[in-house]
Amino acid sequence: MAITKSAKKAIRQSSARRERNIVYKDNIKNFVKKFKSFILQKNNAEAKKILPKVYEAFDKAAKVGVIKKNNASRKKSRLTKMLDKKA
Asked whether residue 68 is domain-assigned, the answer is yes
Asked whether residue 39 is domain-assigned, the answer is yes
Domain count, the chain: 1
Asked whether residue 1 is domain-assigned, the answer is no
- What's the pLDDT score for residue 83? 92
This prediction has a pTM of 0.87
Is 6 buried (19+), middle (13-18) or exposed (0-12) by CB count in 10 A? exposed
- What's the pLDDT score for residue 10? 96
> What CATH number corresponds to the domain at position 78?
1.20.58.110
pLDDT tens string, the chain, 87 residues long: the values are 889 999 999 999 999 999 999 999 999 999 999 999 999 999 999 999 999 999 999 999 999 999 999 999 999 999 999 999 876
Residue 50: domain span: 18-86
Asked whether residue 34 is domain-assigned, the answer is yes
- What's the pLDDT score for residue 9? 96
Fill in the DSSP letter of residue 17.
H
